[in-house]
Amino acid sequence: MIKKKFIMSFLPYDYEGIEKVLSEKSSQGWQLVKAGELYWTFVQGERDEYQYNVTYVPSASEYRVDDTEHQMVLDDLCANAGWERVCSYRKIQIYKNQDPLAVPIDTDEEQKLRMIHMAVKKWLLLPAWILILFFALLLVSVIYMFFKRNDTMTLEFGKIFLCLIVFLVSKGIDVLNYYLWYFKSKKSIATAGKCYSAKGADLVQSINMILVFVFVIWDSLFLELKTGQDFSEMVFLIIAIVFYQLHAAWIKKLGRYIGWPTMVNRVFTIFLSLVLSIYSSALIWGVLVARGFLPGL
């Protein structure tokens, strides 16, 4: 059996985009077997062997050991209609069917939008609001310290202030982007009977990510070199992010294997991944500095 991994990047509520990509892969002979954070695994099969359908279960979690009652009931209902669950990814449930004329799982668009909204609130909105609050508090603290100490404007202060503004605006765009799609979908259901396309939201998200990436490169490379400084901060940050993702994936699986409750697994994964990523990054960065590949911070 030939397996292949493809990079899959999508908005949590872009179910049409996911189904379109899976259909394209199926037409090429690649059938989905597993969905992950970045890479999705496919196996080689017959062309157009399956059609795929995406639905949402707000109570589902990647930290859970077993399926929720909602998932099990949904599996039974879908099985009666010929739909078999391929895999789950966070709140998303992906089903396949060999019948090209099979009735879609969700026929009530209003109910589907309600389930998407409940899932996205936990998946996207809650973390986004936490980050917005965090960046806002940091920004207020930086401004307060600047005026309290009556400092002169320095390049370092300007960089910190600009970074906080950029990240705050970026997360705000994520939240606004979703709500625009959500209210357009409600209006579309009332008139056309189906959810609004997420193509526009996906374009906004892509532009947002590109602009943030360009800013990080400009800040870490161009500005640093222009002022005679190094870009060790960017290297350290990239290493920390990579290690956090790796540790989180391993610890999450360990928690599920041991059988920890969902909340315990979530808190333990976030805390331990953060600690280990900082420790591992500091260790790797220290080796690079000791070897002379990087100057110190």
**pLDDT tens, residue by residue, 118-163:** 999 988 998 899 889 988 998 888 888 777 766 665 656 777 788 8
> What's the rounded Cα separation, in Å, for the pair 98 and 52?
9
How many CB atoms are located within 10 Å of the residue 178 CB?
23
Type of residue numbered 200:
G
How many CB atoms are located within 10 Å of the residue 232 CB?
17
Predicted local confidence at residue 164, as pLDDT: 85
Question: For the CA atoms of the chain, what is the radius of gyration?
Answer: 23
How many CB atoms are located within 10 Å of the residue 138 CB?
15
Q: Which residues of the chain have pLDDT under 70?
A: 149-156, 219-236, 289, 292-297
Predicted local confidence at residue 255, as pLDDT: 81
Predicted local confidence at residue 64, as pLDDT: 79
Residues 203-244 pLDDT 10s = 999 999 898 888 877 766 655 554 444 556 666 677 777 777
Predicted local confidence at residue 141, as pLDDT: 85
Predicted local confidence at residue 229, as pLDDT: 47
Q: Which residue has the tokens 């690649």?
A: 30
Q: Are 138 and 164 in contact (CB under 8 A)?
A: yes
Q: Are 56 and 109 in contact (CB under 8 A)?
A: no
Q: Are 37 and 87 in contact (CB under 8 A)?
A: no
